[in-house]
Amino acid sequence: MKRLRELRGQFRFYLDDEKRFSPHTVKNYISDIDQFIEFTGRIFPQGIEIQAIDVTALRGYLGFLHSRGLNKRSVMRKLASLKSFFRFLVREGHLSRNPAKILHSPRLAKTIPRVMSEEEAGILIESPGTVPRKETKNSPVASARDLALLEMLYATGLRASEIVSLRFENLFTADGIIRILGKGRKERIVPFGVSAGKALSSYLSVRGEGRKPADFIFLNLKGGPLTSRSLQRIVEKYGKELFMEKDPSPHTFRHSFATHLLSRGADLRTIQELLGHQSLSTTQKYTHIAAAELKKIYDSAHPRAKKQAHREKDDE
């Protein structure tokens, strides 16, 4: 086990230094590898050489994960971590072959992400200023912050981790742009509009002292940096107060941002750049979402869309 843990340490350094993954991503990878090492310790209490780990042992580990009731997405992530780990070991000469290479990930059922309509997005964004404060228990500072957060989420399509980590050195209010260091520490420039700019300025005017370039823009009520989980709770809170059918999340804003841009004529390459996707195929899922949304609008708005359906039903 000692040898495995030493190699795990080398892998962590590789993820940090060479791949330049975010601390959160590195933590997930290493957590998955640690779980596998713990499993091998139970199965081989006397220890096992790294060269002796074969596809049978790996399949046993996957069976163990399934027996614990993990969903397919979690198993897929852990398998991807293992594949990456063994690929690294082959690259570094610790193994001659990758035993995880032939393992196949479980297939996931295709799901369409939750997308708000433009009207829903507008109502949700404006809710910090319209919902009575006694119901939300918000201070004026919190209301201004929440409005700025919701405006910026919809205006930029940022991930939750990206918006809570925004610093003043990344904000260029005069130009209406922000600089983002996203997944893989890839830098991109994202614009924001007038509404988001006004909400942000209003929040900053009441936010308080401490605006050095390295300071975080969005703070919690104790003056510390906001976390992704806190952002999730803020978005859910307003969704519940508006009795939305499904609780929205920060990612709901990201999906809605992309879908609404596409439905209004933006091209996929532009949306890919704004979202920070490395692959265009990741962005292409929004064509299906936009098509479904457009079909809904068509069916509800076109004067003959439903008449044809009624006629077909009458002919049966």
Enzyme catalytic residues: 159, 183, 251, 254, 277, 286
Using an 8 Å Cβ cutoff, are 86 and 43 in contact? no
Q: For 245-249, which contacts have Cβ atoms below 8 Å and span 24 or more sequence positions?
A: 246/114, 248/114, 248/116, 248/124, 249/114
Max CA distance (Å), the chain: 75
Which of helix, strand or coil describes residue 19? coil
| Cα(87)–Cα(100) distance, integer angstroms | 8
Residue 108 · residue 122 · CB < 8 Å: no
Cα–Cα distance, 53 to 157 (Å, whole number): 43
- Evaluate whether 226 touches 218 at the Cβ level (below 8 Å): yes
Nearest to 218 by CA among 268, 170, 182: 170
Tracing tokens 């201004």 back to the chain, one arrives at 144
Evaluate whether 115 touches 259 at the Cβ level (below 8 Å). Answer: yes
Residue with tokens 């590898």: 33
